[in-house]
Amino acid sequence: MKLSRYLFIAIAACLISCGPEDPIDDDNNNGKNDPVVDNSGNSSNDDTPDEPFIPSGKFVGADLSQWLAYTGDNAVWKDENSKSIRNLPQYFADNGYNIARLRLFVNPDLASTACQDLDYVIASARAMRDAGMSICLDFHYSDTWADPGKQYKPAEWESLSTADLADKVYTYTLSTLTTLRNENITPTHIQIGNEITAGMLWNDGRVSVWGDSGDKYDTESQWSNFRLFLTRAAEACREVCPDAKIIVHIDRGGDAATAKRFYSRIDDIDYDVIGLSYYPYWHGSLSQLSSTISTLSSNHANKEIMIVETGFGYNEWSDDSATANYGNYESTPEGQKKFLADLVTTLNRYDHVTGLFYWFPEETYIDWRSVYRIDLNRGLFDKETGKVLPAFHCLPEFAKE
């Protein structure tokens, strides 16, 4: 069921404003208006100031990138009393989440899980802004999912030379941020790449951090290309959003040695925040995470550190249930809650750590036929009932100490 971008946004917006058929819990909104988006994606709040909202203190984040797509396909979210949540961004904001992370693809397939183009991001970001959250924009610099195992160029960029590719990174970043600024949704944080441990825009900017002799991607030429792409992206960020924090994000939250090698290779890049993914079933124990944070804090004392992705399964079908290295935490609602509580306690020991984001917390009940459905069983809502899970309230504790 392929929807045009405008029809998709219009349907989603109608559902936001009209709400589900279940009874509405008026207390959830605390008297605040729901976001309203018309068919063109324009907000009804024309008097929104240009200055972005910047929370004081630490950032408690939710990557809500799939929320709009799920809303358009009638996903169900409920509070602790099993009452329908009409405005999910407002529910997050009212419960202590002060920043929303949104991924952006260049020319994605709009009828897929990776459907977040610029129109989609604008519509989503307005709702997050209107709820009172600031925005972290996550550039993937790809038409589809980018991570350490794949960093494919956008199809329209395939034939560009390395120099022209660097220019394209600059102009694309500049144009995107200018559009967002003109829409009064200026990001406070900007990721220039997503989990770029192995570089970006392969193979021009592909690198290796493993230190293997003879590795064709661990050469000065490859690292020079990669650094050039990061440099041009950062230049565009500073030009349009001079007050935003620039994040360089890798996945090695529990691997101090590799993280140290990576960030030592980009010392000349203009950025503010070391962004790490940390999933215990892939990246090891909390003590390994602590070692990574300690190492990076010591070697990069002028940088903030954020865990920009984390997550943990809550039932036997979660994709981590058969994976080693997740300690004594069971894949149950209580196990999920215990993991997040212990993670918050660990992170609050470090002054350099200023942000914590949960990835895809909005996973919930949705029709199995939806092309936007992602099955991981590690969201913060029960996928069978849509009811919020106990772990939802753990993350905001990060900002209270």
Q: What is the pLDDT of residue 319?
A: 75
Q: What is the pLDDT of residue 137?
A: 98
Q: What is the pLDDT of residue 325?
A: 61
> Residues 227, 235: contact at Cβ < 8 Å?
no
Active site residue 195: yes
Q: What is the average pLDDT across 143-163?
A: 98
* Domain total in the chain: 1
Is 194 a member of any domain? yes
Has residue 9 got a pLDDT over 90? Answer: no
Spot the catalytic one: 183, 304, 309, 330. Answer: 309
Is 87 a member of any domain? yes
Is 57 a member of any domain? no
> pLDDT band at residue 168, thresholds of 50, 70 and 90?
very high
Q: What is the average pLDDT across 57-85?
A: 97
> Residues 276, 250: contact at Cβ < 8 Å?
yes
Is 209 a member of any domain? yes
Q: What is the pLDDT of residue 212?
A: 77
Angle made by CA atoms 51, 53, 58, in degrees to the nearest 5: 140
- The answer for residues whose C-beta is within 8 angstroms of residue 284's C-beta and 6 or more apart is 253, 254, 255, 325
Percentage of the chain lying above the pLDDT 70 cut: 85
Read off the CATH number of the domain in which 72 is found: 3.20.20.80
Rounded Cα distance, 311 and 22, in Å: 29
Give 20: exposed, middle or buried? Use CB within 10 Å, 0-12, 13-18, 19+: middle
Report which of 365, 360, 397 is spatially closest to residue 379, judged by C-alpha positions: 360
Q: What is the pLDDT of residue 341?
A: 98
Helix axes 118-131, 5-18, angle to 10 degrees: 20
Phi, psi at 195, each rounded to 5°: 50, 60
Active site residue 309: yes
Spot the catalytic one: 183, 195, 304, 362. Answer: 195
What is the tens place of the pLDDT at every residue in 344-385? 999 999 999 999 999 999 999 999 999 999 999 999 999 999
Q: What is the pLDDT of residue 54?
A: 64
Structural domain containing residue 356: 5-48+62-399
Q: What is the pLDDT of residue 97?
A: 98
Q: What is the pLDDT of residue 307?
A: 98
User: In which region does residue 74 sit, left (phi positive, over 0), alpha (psi from -120 to 50) or beta (all else)?
Assistant: left
Mean pLDDT of the chain: 89
Report which of 358, 367, 364, 368 is spatially closest to residue 383, judged by C-alpha positions: 364
Q: What is the pLDDT of residue 73?
A: 97
Q: What is the average pLDDT across 202-214?
A: 90
Rounded Cα distance, 136 and 133, in Å: 10
Is 55 a member of any domain? no
> pLDDT band at residue 210, thresholds of 50, 70 and 90?
confident
> Residues 395, 97: contact at Cβ < 8 Å?
yes
What is the tens place of the pLDDT at every residue in 256-287? 999 999 999 999 999 999 999 999 999 999 99
> pLDDT band at residue 320, thresholds of 50, 70 and 90?
confident
Which of 39-53, 75-89, 153-167, 235-249 shows the lowest per-residue confidence on average (mean pLDDT)? Answer: 39-53
Is 327 a member of any domain? yes
Is 298 a member of any domain? yes
Q: What is the pLDDT of residue 245?
A: 98
Rounded Cα distance, 171 and 244, in Å: 18
Q: What is the average pLDDT across 279-302?
A: 96
Has residue 305 got a pLDDT over 50? Answer: yes
Q: What is the pLDDT of residue 63?
A: 98
